[in-house]
Homo-oligomer: A and B are copies of this chain.
Amino acid sequence: MTSKILPPYYAVIFTSIRTDNNQGYAQTAEHMAALAADQPGYIGFESTQEGDRGISISYWKDLDSIKNWKNRADHLTAQKLGREKWYKSYTTRIAKVEREYSYQI
């Protein structure tokens, strides 16, 4: 994602290690990505999965937008399922993007 929003803005860095249980994961992940994109303050999302390790980053205008998304009822349900079924471990980091620069061929 090359954002059209200039810093400062926020990144939520979610790094995870998955279990072998994929039941319902893809459907929920897709649904959550679509819901997040409709939230106020949403800027963008990118995610890569390599084996059992994943890095997902969502970008937001401010901390309030992140807090609102975190506490949405259907997102809370998905987070609970994540802990019960899909993730061995994860770390969530809230980070303020201060600078960015891009390169393109």
Contact = CB atoms under 8 A, between A and B. Distances in A.
Interface string A38-67: 000000001111100111010000000000
A2 interface: yes
A88 B104 contact: yes
| Interface size range on A against B | 35 or more
**Identical chains in the assembly:** 2
Interface in A86-105: 87-105
A68 to B, nearest CB: 16
Given A50-B49, A53-B48, A54-B48, A89 B105 contact: yes
Interface of A: 1-2, 7, 11, 13, 15, 19, 46-50, 53-55, 57, 83, 87-105
